[in-house]
Structure 1
Amino acid sequence: MKEQSNLSRRRFLTNAAAAGAIGMIGANVLVSCAEKQKTVELNLPPLLDQAPDGKPLKAGVIGCGGRGSGAALDFLKAGPNLSIHALGDVFRDRIDDCRNKLKNEANQEVADENIFVGFDAFQKVIDSGVDVVILATPPHFRPEHFEAAVQARKHVFMEKPVAVDPVGIRQVLATSKKADSLGLKIVTGTQRRHQRDYIEVYKQIANGAIGDIVGANCYWNQSKLWHRNPNADWSEMEYMIRDWVNWLWLSGDHIVEQHIHNIDVIHWFTGKYPTRAVGFGSRQRRVTGDQFDNFSVDFVFDNGMHNHSMCRQINGCANNVSEFVMGTKGSSNCQNTIWDAAGAELFKYPYPLDASGQPERNVTISPYVQEHIDLVTCIRQNIPVNEAESTAMTNLVAIMGRVSAYTGKEVTLDEIMNSDLKLGPSTYVMGDVGIVGVSQVPVAGEAADPNA
C-alpha cells in the first residue's frame, strides 16, 4: 500500500489541510492553566465513590475486546440504574466473550436483537436506543465512531488514543466542539486524571508546591505486548485487526497507543503542550506488524522547558512506567510524592491501610471505575465535562513524536496539526486490502528534504 510505505517527511507535513491555529484551542474543563496563577479553580470531577441515582442509563459497547469488555463492567460498577443494552464488533466471537463476561461477572444479559456484527455495527449500536456509547475499537476507527455518536446526541466514553493521524485528530476536535454545543458529556480513557493520588498531587502542584515547572520526564518501558500470528482461515483484514496493536494504521504505534498516558500527565500538570519534537526509535524485536518497539523523544515547549519521553516494549530490559516534574522549588513523581529542592519529602499521598496497618499502594476506587462514576455523575447532575479536546491534543503531540522518530527530523506542532497524513485503507472489507505485503518499517534519515 503506497501510503503506508512512503514515510518521507514531505508526505507527513505538506499539502496541509489547516484546521485553525493551535493557540485557539482552549483547555478542557478538567485542565487548569496553572502557569498563569498559583491559586486556581481546578474544576475537577466530584470524585464520588458512586455516581448518584437517577434515570436509567443504557450503554452500548462498540468494540468488545478486552478493553471494551472491561469498560462495560466498569460502567456497571459506577452506580445504580445502569445497564449494557447493546454490543457491536466486527467479530462475533469477541461479542460472545464480552456477553459471557457481562452475564457471569455482572449478571447482565444483552438481548439477541441488540447484538450487531460487522463494520457497520457501530451505527446500529448507536441507533439501538442507548444513552451512552462506549468506544473501544482499535483507535483507527475512533474519529468516525465518535462523530456518529455525537451526531446522534449520545454521551460518550471513549478509550485513548482517539486517533492515529492528524486528519483523525482534526475530526475529533471538530466533533468535540459539536458535543459542547449539544451539552453532551465526554470522558476519555486517560484514567490518571481520575485517579485520586494523582489528583491530590496535581492540586498541590497547581497551587505552587514546587514553584514553576521547568523540566519533565515520562516513561512507559515494559515487556512486549501480545501479538497474533497469521491464520490460514483469516483474511488479511481480519488478521491485522486481530493483531491490531502491532500495526501503525490501527494503533498509531505504542508511543500513541500506550505512552499517551504518561505524556498526558505532563501536559495536565504543566497546562501546556510542546511546540516541537526531535526523536528517535527503532524496531529491534517486534515479530509482527510494521511498528517500532522503542522511542526516545525530546519535546520542547515555548518557554524552553523540555520533556524527555521514553517508551519501549522489549522483553528482558529495565521497566519503568512513571512521570516526573522538576520545579523551581521542588519536584514530584506526579502520583504520590512531592519533594523540596533539597530532596526532603514534603507530601506523601495517604493510601488506605491494610489489615496490618501498613499503607497499600492503591486508591480506594479504581481509576478505571472512577472514569465512569465521573461520567455518570456529570450526566445526572448536568455538570459540564468534555475531555475529548485535551486527549486529542496529547494524542497529536504523541503523533508529532512518532513522526520525528520515523523521519529523524524536527517536527513542530503546527506542522503536524496541519498535515494531511491519513493512515489506513479508504474502505473496509473483510478481505485482502494490500497492506501486509507492502508495509515497511520506517528508516530515519531517509526522508526527503521538505524544502527541496
Structure 2
Amino acid sequence: MNQHAPQTATTSRRQFLKTTAALTAAAASPLAIARAAQPGGSDILRVGLIGCGGRGSGAAVNAMNADPNARLVAMADVFEWRMAESLARIEEVKPDQVSVDRDHQFGGLDGHRHLLESGVDVVLITVPSHFTPIYLKAAVEAGKHVFCEKTHAVDAPGVRSVIEAGETARQKGLSVVSGLAWRYDTGVLETMKRVHDGAIGEIHTIEEICNTGSLRSLARRPEMTEMEYQIYNWYDFNWLSADLPGLNLVHNVDKGAWALHDRPPLVAWGMGGREVRKGPTFGDVYDHHATVFDYGGGVRMYAYCRQINGVVTEISDRFVGTKGHCDLLRYTIEGETNWRYEGPPSNRFDLEHVALFSGIRSGQPVNNSTYMARSSLLALMATWCSHTGEEITWERAMNSNKQVNPERYALDATPPTVPDADGNYPIAVPGLTRFE
C-alpha cells in the first residue's frame, strides 16, 4: 500500500469512540470538574459547535466532560453531511448532553452567523485556521464565550484581529480560551512553574521538535468545486492552514515562548522544502521546516517540524539554562536541581474546557488571547522564513498587511490558489517568493 495514499473522509466511529474513551479515562479528577462546574450554580450552558470535523467532535465531548451542565444545542459546518456524522458520534458518547434539532444545524459558509443567533452561550470554534479570526470576532461581538482551536490566524491582519477580539472580550467580561492545550496539562504546568522559578537558571537555548509521520490528505470528491475541495482538504493549503508550522509546530513554539515569559523574538530565519509529499494530492504545503528564533543576548529557540513517513519521529521541548536543563514533556529537570513530576496524569483537552466553564460560572473570565495571537505569529514566521528564505523581524511580521483571501466567501468562488492543467498547485520557492 502506498504510504502516502489519500484517505477517505469518513472517520471511523470505532476509532473515535476508542480515542474519546481513552481521553476521558485520563481526565482530571471528578472532584476538580465538579468544583469547576459549581461556583455559578447548576444552570445549563448552551454550547454551539462551529466546525464538525474530528477535532470539533472531540472538543464538543471535552466540553461536556468538563461541565456536566453543558449542553450541545447547535452545530455549524460547511458540509452538512459532515455535521450529521459528527452529531451521531457525539450523541453516542454523550447522549444526555446533546440536544441538536434539525433547526439548529446550519450548513454552508454562513452557518456560523445563524448559530450565533440561535441562543447559545458558549461557542467552540474548530475550523480551518483562515476562518478562525473571522469567527472569533463575530462570536465576541455577539457576546459569546469562546473556545478557539489553534492555529488562530494565517496572516498578520488575522493575528491583529485576534488581539482586538481578545480586548473586546475583556471589556465584555467574556472568556476566550485557546486550544494550545499544553498550557493546561498538569505535569507541564508544574514543570514550567519550576523553570520560571529559576530551577535551570537563565534560559539560553530552546529546542522544539515536532517530527511526525505524514498527516492525512483527503481525496477530492467528484462533485466538489475547487473551493469545497480545498476547505475539505485544508491541511494541505497554505491559505487555510499556514503549512506545517500552523498545523503542529505552533504547540511547540508556544511552549518555548511560554518558557521565555511570552516575550517575542527579535528576528527569525529558516529553511524548508517539499521532498516527499509531492503532487496534486498535497496542495501547496512543504513537508519539513527548520527555524531559528533569535531573542538577543545569546538566547535562541531552534524549531523543527517534519511530516514524512518512514523516518525517525519525535515530539519534544527542551530548555537549557545556566544551572541545568528541562525536558518538558518528560516533566524532568536536571542540573543543580533534580526534579521529576510524579503526580497523576491529566487530560489537557478536558482541562482547557474546565478552565473555560469555571471562568464562566465563577464570573472570572479566562482570556488567552494575547499568547494565542503571539504564538500563532511565531508559527507564521516559521512558515514565511521557509517559503522566502528571508530574515524576518518580529516587528515586520506583526505589521505585515499581506492577506490571502478568496475573491468572495462562497463555495463556487475561486480560491486564492488554483491548480494548473496537470492538477499541480504553485509552490513557494525560497529566493523568488518574497515576504510582504
TM-score surpassing 0.5? yes
Aligned to 1:319: 313
Aligned to 2:327: 333
Contact 1:102 1:109 in 2 (8 A): no
Question: Of 379, 388, 392, which aligns to 1:411?
Answer: 392
Q: Which amino acid is 1:96 matched to?
A: A
2:272 counterpart SS class: strand
Answer yes or no: is 1:99 the counterpart of 2:48: no
Question: Could you say which structure has the higher helix fraction?
Answer: 2
Q: How far apart, in 2, do the equivalents of 1:301 and 1:111 lie?
A: 52
Query: What residue ranges of structure 1 are gaps of 5+ in the alignment?
Result: 1-46, 353-362
Contact 2:407 2:414 in 1 (8 A): no
Identity of aligned residues (%): 34
Q: How far apart, in 2, do the equivalents of 1:325 and 1:226 lie?
A: 31
Q: How far apart, in 2, do the equivalents of 1:296 and 1:414 lie?
A: 21
Q: CA deviation at 1:348?
A: 1.1
Question: Of 225, 228, 231, which aligns to 2:215?
Answer: 225
Aligned to 1:4: none
Q: How far apart, in 1, do the equivalents of 2:60 and 2:33 lie?
A: 18
Aligned to 2:146: 156
Deviations 1:298-330 (A, max 9, x none): 110133301000000001111011100011111
2:160 counterpart SS class: helix
Q: How far apart, in 2, do the equivalents of 1:184 and 1:79 lie?
A: 17
Question: Of 349, 369, 377, which aligns to 2:341?
Answer: 349
Aligned to 1:382: 363
Deviations 1:31-84 (A, max 9, x none): xxxxxxxxxxxxxxxx93442232211110000111111000110111221100
- State how 1:185-204 maps to structure 2 within 5 Å: 185-204=175-194
Question: Of 266, 270, 274, which aligns to 2:265?
Answer: 274
Instruction: Quickly say closer, same or farther: Cα 1:169–1:265, change in 2 above 3 A.
Output: same
Aligned to 2:348: 367
Answer yes or no: is 1:395 the counterpart of 2:376: yes
Aligned to 1:286: 277
Answer yes or no: is 1:144 the counterpart of 2:134: yes
Q: How far apart, in 2, do the equivalents of 1:448 and 1:153 lie?
A: 39
Q: CA deviation at 1:440?
A: 1.3
Instruction: Quickly say closer, same or farther: Cα 1:449–1:110, change in 2 above 3 A.
Output: closer
- State how 1:251-262 maps to structure 2 within 5 Å: 251-262=241-252
Q: Which amino acid is 1:328 matched to?
A: T
Instruction: Quickly say closer, same or farther: Cα 1:60–1:448, change in 2 above 3 A.
Output: closer
Aligned to 2:418: 436
1:228 counterpart SS class: coil
Contact 2:48 2:120 in 1 (8 A): yes
Answer yes or no: is 1:83 the counterpart of 2:71: yes
Question: Of 207, 222, 227, which aligns to 1:237?
Answer: 227
- State how 1:12-51 maps to structure 2 within 5 Å: 48-50=32-34, 51=36
Contact 1:330 1:338 in 2 (8 A): no
Q: How far apart, in 2, do the equivalents of 1:339 and 1:124 lie?
A: 49
Q: CA deviation at 1:448?
A: 5.8
Q: Which amino acid is 1:381 matched to?
A: S
1:259 counterpart SS class: helix
2:412 counterpart SS class: coil
Q: How far apart, in 1, do the equivalents of 2:119 and 2:290 lie?
A: 45
Q: How far apart, in 2, do the equivalents of 1:447 and 1:94 lie?
A: 36
Deviations 1:133-172 (A, max 9, x none): 1000111101110000000111000000111111111111
Q: CA deviation at 1:424?
A: 2.8
Provide the alpha-carbon RMSD of the alignment: 1.7
1:301 counterpart SS class: strand
Between stretches 223-232 and 156-165, larger displacement belongs to 223-232
Query: What residue ranges of structure 2 are gaps of 5+ in the alignment?
Result: 1-30
Between stretches 97-106 and 51-60, larger displacement belongs to 51-60
Q: Which amino acid is 1:442 matched to?
A: A
Q: Which amino acid is 2:419 matched to?
A: G
Q: How far apart, in 2, do the equivalents of 1:313 and 1:383 lie?
A: 40
TM-score computed with the length of structure 2 as normaliser: 0.87
